[in-house]
Amino acid sequence: MWNRSKLYAAAKILNGALRPRPYLAQVFYPLPPPRRVCSEDSLFHRDSKIFDGSLHHFHLFRIARCTIYSGSPYSTSPGHGDGLVCWKCGEPAPLAGPFLSCVSCRAVQPVDSSVDYFQIFGQERRYELKGENLERIYKEWQKKLHPDLVHSKSEKEKSYADEQSARVIDAYRTLSEPLSRALYLLQLAGILVDEENTIGDPELLAEMMDVREAIEEASDQKTLKEIQSQIRRKHQEWSKSFKDAFDKRDFDFAIIATQRMRYYERAIEEIVKKL
Amino acid sequence: MADEIYTVAYDSETSADERAKPVPADIAIGIDIGTSKCSFAIWNGAEVEVLQNTQIQSTIPSHVLFKDEMPPEGFSYEVPRSGAEILSGSDAFNMKRLIGRVDTDPVVKSSKMLPFMVQTFGIGQIPLIAVPVNNVWRSTTPEEVLAIFLAELKENAEHKLKRPIRKAVLTVPISFSRLQLTRIEQACAMAGIHVFRLMPEPTAVALLYAQQQQQQIIHENMGSGMEKVALIFSMGAGFCDVAITITAGGVSQIKALLGIPVGGEDMLQNIIHYLFPDFGSLEKMKSNRLLRIAVQNAIHELSSQTSVEVKVDLRDGKIKSRSLTRVEFEEVNHKVFVKCEKLIAQCLLDARLTAEDLSDVILVGGCSSVPKIRSLVLSLCKKEDSYDGIDPLEASVRGAATEGAIASGASDASGSLDLLTIQVTTTSLGIRVDGGDFVPIIRRNTSVPVRKEMVFTTANDDQAEALVVVYEGESRRAEENIILGYFKITGIPSGPRGSAEVGICMDVDTSNVLRVYGGAHLLRTQQAVSPFLEVRMPMADIGQGWSVQALVKIYGSTMDLAATPPNEVQK
């Protein structure tokens, strides 16, 4: 049986109580209302008596959702289905590629939430990204969309620029990180995984406690780096498992893979802090 | 008047007729208000020109002298012209360290060693600042002092450019809260300057760096060029800031920003304390000033010498003399250096980069000439030498003037203004939930523009109204962060606690304006009950956390919001 302090330490690393991750901050997701996925039998609910007063501490950052739905009350965009011509000069949208700014008059277009993040970056809706450098495309979009570059234009266009630019920033961040990219893919498939979900898999728990102990006991950089590369390898393995599961539409396993990835990332972060 | 024009090195290939390009009428000037010195610069159509005041100085001491003549409207003031005037004891300075801070702030407490009155009660209010004028202590405020020399800068610039100046880009420390930024805007308004943009100091330097990289690529015809990663370390008299930027093709993405209110002033005070422990009472103000200047000069000399003799003629027959070695200086200021090291390490961590990823390290600010600072930054960044294309003392103001030109819509035939900087937020922004926890909605180091929403729920059954209290900061406890404002959401559909849905959205635009939107959703839909309320933050004159205590006293937890527990809001 695990003792209390050990459990506490495990809980800390597993639930990221040290510092919540900036992942999954999703803006303008083009989604139907998501289906929520929760682990039914979480460690803390089973053992909540042990934790009594400190229990709520772990729930501190457990905000379930941070999504903005299309047509939310703050959006200035008229939504999609407007007919794809430039609002300013009437030029039709190009046949290929997302229509974020007009090729003819360079006017920034209103946000069309049916365009997903993969389309913005010219990628297929798959976990593995193809060749092209995201950072380069990101910067190219910003050159066309960033509100600082439309300063002489109308308020209307400036607000479009604000929204488009923010959306491209979010798209870039979401796609450039393996975990957030995986979660976004699931979300596009209609599945929302809770960010701070507790974990019930005893095997993973035991493994993570061992890792934590190893990190704590590691006395030199060399050992830490060894642990780090071990965890990185595991992260890669599970990243591949996610890809395979997602390709097979095995969403239950894909969700398990994202949980693994999250905990490995946290462990890597712990190590980086100590290095 | 000598009219020396500062030429930016990378601009030397610009041809003469490009230089003759007309300057758009209303280009914003760049202003660097430092803790100890300020300067101003403008894009003249071809390059950035650092302007000089009527005394032909390109930097002006950030001091304001209060005169003992008594004009009818009260008292007069001016920017001091000489060291002797500074010694008269009627001046106020270091106001950038004090602006927008309350009397419980450690920075205010440490300002008690300054040779003017800083009166505090330790109750979370603005301190009283006063200088002696004609045997009376005259009170003033940091905003007033800043406004006076901003007005002086404006007047000088108008005289020089022969046109009215309306807009300005100012550089500010990263660690400034939104409340402090508001105070800077107020000071500018008092001086008749419209703030076009406030940019964190190292990001102004990042802009210059991006410009130089871009010009080099155009010059060497290298196509779109490589991506360059630079760490910028900026340390002046009052503040220490670190930024990491990734630049390619004229577009810079700021990756991480981190700053603390630690600077040369802290080192100066440590050394004064070390050499002359009996220093510091208001009664001996004149001798204190003499000591201050002598020690300051000694520290400057220690940048090139290993030991120095501090000799102060106190002008009352007494001469104080002490020797100071560089080793002593570094020991006494050990804590300051440790703080700098931590700042750099954390900034790299935030940017998820390591020293090996850095292409260049840029050191700017007055303290960048301190040997220990140089060596610690370079060793942490694993570099032999720092980037040498940027003048450490003019970097900030030049960057601000460049941003002023870009934001004013100026263009340049050589393409040196085709630049874009994607800024990030400097603090986390969020709200208070569950009676006192802080939940960030927009996290620190998020690229702007950004808009994010989170859904919260009610803490009580049939709760029709909810109080939204907005904070900025990194603490998990709301009260330890800085309050920016509050408002009430009404018309929440009734139901058991945890069932209602309240949407809070935060929006930061590229001018760093924060807007908070809030409203109740109809249950199980994303439809708003009524139009959302939009509030610009910080709200004017928000009462330093007292207001929240008052709200809690009156309403208790009846209007609290709660984080939605995921297991209870199953769909």
Q: Over 90: is that where the pLDDT of A135 sits? A: no
A86-124: burial string, b at 16+ Cβ within 10 Å, e else: bbbeeeebeeeebbbbbeeeebbbbbbbebbbbbbbebe
Q: Is B420 on the interface with A (CB under 8 A)?
A: yes
Give the pLDDT confidence score for residue A196 in this predicted structure.
Answer: 57
In chain A, residues with a C-beta closer than 8 Å to the C-beta of B563 are 59-63
pLDDT at A35 over 80: no
Q: Report the Cα–Cα distance between both ends of chain B, in Å, rounded.
A: 76
Inter-residue contact B8 to B394 (CB < 8 Å) = no
B564, A64: Cβ pair inside 8 Å? yes
Dist. CA A261–CA A243, nearest whole Å? 12
Measure A260 CA to nearest chain B CA, in Å: 20
Distance CA B207, CA B214 (A): 10
User: Which SS3 state, helix, strand or coil, does residue B191 take?
Assistant: coil
**Residue B31 to residues A14, B93, B172, B416, B424: CA-CA distances in angstroms?**
48, 17, 10, 20, 21
Choose among B154, B158, B190, B187: nearest CA to B172.
Answer: B187
Considering only CB atoms, which chain B residues are within 8 Å of A162?
Answer: 449, 451, 509-510
Computed on alpha carbons and rounded to an integer, the radius of gyration of chain B in Å comes to: 25
* Partner-chain contact A146 B249, CB within 8 Å: no
- Give the number of other CB atoms < 10 A from CB of residue A84: 13
Q: Which of the given ranges, A12-26, A224-238, B134-148, B210-224, has the highest pLDDT on average? A: A224-238
B421, containing H or E segment: strand B420-422
**Residue B326 CA, distance from chain mean position:** 30
* In the block, residue with structure tokens 């957030």: A180
Q: Is A63 on the interface with B (CB under 8 A)?
A: yes
Per-residue pLDDT band at A32 (split at 50, 70, 90): very low
Q: Which residues on B lie below 8 Å from A108 (Cβ)?
A: none
Report angle CA B549, B554, B560 to the nearest 5 degrees: 80
8 A C-beta contact, residue A102 and residue A89: yes
Q: Which of A60, A147, A272 lies at the smallest CB-CB distance from B449?
A: A147
Q: Are the C-beta atoms of B313 and B319 separated by less than 8 Å?
A: yes
Give the end-to-end CA distance of chain A in Å, rounded to a whole number.
Answer: 32
CA dihedral for B165, B167, B173, B177, sign (positive or negative): positive
Evaluate the omega torsion of the peptide bond into residue A147 and state whether it is cis, within 30 degrees of 0. no
Q: How far apart are CA B344 and CA B12, in angstroms?
A: 34
Query: How far lies B16's CA from each of A165, B51, B124, B294, B296, in Å?
Result: 37, 21, 57, 47, 44
Edge-to-edge strand list for the sheet holding B228-235: B360-364, B228-235, B240-248, B251-260, B420-422
Angle at A248 between CA A246 and CA A253, to 5 degrees: 55
Query: With contact defined as beta carbons under 8 Å apart, do B503 and A66 qualify?
Result: no
Per-residue pLDDT of B303-348, as tens digits, reads 999 999 988 877 777 788 889 999 999 999 999 999 999 999 999 9
Question: Across the interface, do A63 and B563 touch by the CB < 8 Å criterion?
Answer: yes
- pLDDT above 60 for A34: no
Q: Does A18 touch chain B (CB under 8 A)?
A: no
Query: What DSSP assignment string belongs to B485-539?
Result: EEEEE--PPP-STT--EEEEEEEE-TT--EEEEEEEEPTTSS-BSSPPEEEEESP
Tokens of B255: 């990756």
Q: What is the pLDDT of residue B291?
A: 83
| Residue A151 CB contacts under 8 Å (≥ 6 apart), including other chains | A158, B407, B409
Whether residue A16 lies within 8 A of chain B, CB to CB, comes out as no
What residues of chain B lie within 8 A of the CB of A178, using their CB?
none
- Residue B526: its chain A contacts at CB < 8 A? 33, 69, 71-72
Any idea what the Cα angle at residue B453 is, between residues B243 and B407, rounded to 5°?
45
**Which residue shows structure tokens 């199953």?**
B570
The answer to whether residue A59 neighbours chain B at the CB level (below 8 Å) is yes
The CA-atom distances, in angstroms, between A116 and each of A132, A186, B118, B183, B197 are: 17, 13, 57, 41, 33
List of chain A residues whose C-beta atoms are within 8 Å of the C-beta of residue B505: 68, 72, 74
pLDDT value at position A149? Answer: 80
Of A63, A73, A162, the CB nearest to B564: A63
Residue A244 is encoded by which pair of tokens? 């395979």
Q: How far apart are CA B483 and CA B179, in angstroms?
A: 9
Distance (Å, rounded) from C-alpha A125 to C-alpha A119? Answer: 8
Identify the pLDDT of residue B474.
94
Q: Show which of residues 221-250 on chain A sit within 8 Å of chain B, judged by CB atoms.
A: none
CB contact under 8 A, A61 and B439: yes
Specify the DSSP class assigned to residue B442: E
Among residues B246, B252, B248, the alpha carbon closest in space to that of B222 is found at B248
* Alpha-carbon gap: B450 to the closest alpha carbon of chain A (Å): 5
CA distances from B563 to B21, B502, B533 (A): 57, 10, 20
For residue B121, the 8-state DSSP code is -
* Helical residues (DSSP H) of B333-432, grouped into ranges: 334-351, 371-380, 395-407
Site of tokens 């000071």: B187
Strands (E), B204-294: 228-235, 240-248, 251-260
Q: Region A220-233: what's the mean pLDDT?
A: 88
Give the 3-state DSSP-derived string for chain A, with helices as H, strands as E and coil as C: CCCHHHHHHHHHHHCCCCCCCCCCCCCCECCCCCEEECCCCCHHHHCHHHHHHHHHHHCCCCCCCCCCECCCCCCCCCCCCCCCECCCCCCECCCCCCCCECCCCCCECCCCCCCCHHHHCCCCCCCCCCCCCHHHHHHHHHHHHCHHHHCCCCHHHHHHHHHHHHHHHHHHHHHHCHHHHHHHHHHHCCEEECCCCCCCCHHHHHHHHHHHHHHHHCCCHHHHHHHHHHHHHHHHHHHHHHHHHHHCCCHHHHHHHHHHHHHHHHHHHHHHHHC
Instruction: Using alpha carbons only, give the angle A65, B501, B492 rounded to the nearest 5 degrees.
Output: 160
Q: Please compute the mean of the pLDDT values over residues A155-167 and round it to a whole number.
A: 88
Q: Report the run of H or E that residue B102 belongs to, with start and end.
A: none
Inter-residue contact B97 to B107 (CB < 8 Å): yes
pLDDT of residue B20: 41
Do B251 and A139 count as a contact with CB atoms less than 8 A apart? yes
Q: What phi and psi values does residue B485 have, to the nearest 5 degrees?
A: 160, 175
Stronger pLDDT, B139 or A7, i.e. the higher one? B139
CA distance B438 to B474: 9
Quick one: what percent of chain A has pLDDT higher than 70?
66
Chain A contacts in chain B segment 46-75 (CB below 8 A): none
Distance CA B504, CA B466 (A): 11
SS3 assignment, position B212: helix
Chain A interface, mutation test: which of B214, B453, B455, B480, most A Cβ atoms within 10 Å?
B453
Q: What is chain A's length?
A: 275
Domain boundaries, chain B: 429-563
B454/A63 CB distance under 8 A? yes
CA B46 to chain centre: 28
Residue numbers of B between 369 and 408 with CB closer than 8 Å to A: 406-407
**Interface-testing mutation among A57, A65, A150, A192, with chain B (most B C-beta atoms within 10 A):** A65
Strands B37-43 and B29-33: antiparallel
B449 upstream amide cis, omega within 30 of 0: yes
Distance, CA of B372 to CA of B365 (rounded, Å):
14
Give the residue, A99 or B169, on which the prediction is more confident.
Answer: B169
CB contacts < 8 Å between A and B, how many? 134
β-bridge mates for residue B32, sequence order: B39, B171
pLDDT digit of tens for each residue in chain B (571 aa)? 333 333 333 333 333 444 444 455 688 999 998 888 888 999 988 889 888 766 666 777 777 777 765 443 334 455 555 555 556 667 788 888 889 888 888 888 888 778 888 888 888 788 888 888 878 888 888 888 888 888 888 888 888 888 899 999 999 999 999 999 999 999 999 999 999 999 999 999 999 999 999 888 777 765 556 789 999 999 999 999 999 999 988 889 999 999 999 999 999 999 988 988 876 555 566 777 788 888 889 999 999 999 999 888 777 777 888 899 999 999 999 999 999 999 999 999 999 999 999 999 999 999 999 999 999 999 999 999 999 999 999 999 999 999 999 888 888 877 788 899 999 999 999 999 988 899 999 999 999 999 998 889 888 888 889 999 999 999 999 988 988 999 999 888 888 888 888 889 999 998 899 999 999 887 766 677 778 899 999 887 665 667 778 888 888 888 888 886 543 433 3
Confidence grade of residue A3 (pLDDT, cut at 50, 70, 90): very low
Contact indicator for B199, B427 with CB cutoff of 8 Å = no
Kindly report the CATH number that applies to the domain delimited by B429-563.
Answer: 2.60.34.10
Nearest to B570 among A36, A138, A273 (CB): A36
A195 in contact with B, Cβ within 8 Å: no
Q: Where are the beta strands (DSSP E) in B104-156?
A: 117-119, 128-133, 136-140
Which pLDDT tens digit goes with each residue over A48-67?
322 333 323 222 222 333 33
Q: Tell if the CB–CB gap between A27 and B456 is shorter than 8 Å.
A: no
- Is B509 in CB contact (< 8 Å) with chain A? yes
**Beta-strand pair B194-200/B167-172:** parallel
Distance from CA of A136 to the nearest CA of B (A): 8
Test the A interface: residue of B428, B505, B567 with most A CBs within 10 Å: B567
Looking at the complex, report in whole angstroms how far the Cα of residue B257 sits from the nearest Cα belonging to chain A: 16
Q: Cβ of B218: how many Cβ atoms within 10 Å? A: 18
Residue-level pLDDT at B322: 87
Average pLDDT over residues A72-77: 41
Return the exposure string of B396-432: e unless at least 16 CB atoms fall within 10 Å of the residue's CB, then b. Answer: bbbbbbbbbbbbbebebebebbbbbbbbbbbbbbbbb
d(CA B269, CA B288): 11
Query: Which residues 442-471 on chain B approach chain A with CB closer than 8 angstroms?
Result: 443, 446-456
**Cross-sheet strand order for the sheet of B450-458:** B533-537, B514-521, B501-508, B450-458, B561-563
**Distance of residue A7 Cα from the nearest chain B Cα, in angstroms:** 22
Residue B557 contacts A, CB cutoff 8 Å: no
Q: How far apart are CA A151 and CA B412, in angstroms?
A: 16
- Interchain pair B563, A27: CB under 8 A: no
Q: How far is B562 from chain A (nearest CA, A)?
A: 9
Report the pLDDT value the prediction gives residue B56, as an integer from 0 to 100.
63
Contact with chain B for residue A73, Cβ under 8 A: yes
Whether residue B409 lies within 8 A of chain A, CB to CB, comes out as yes
Instruction: Supply the ipTM of this predicted assembly.
Output: 0.78
User: Which letter does DSSP use for residue B551 in this model?
Assistant: H
Q: Closest-CA residue in chain A for B225?
A: A136
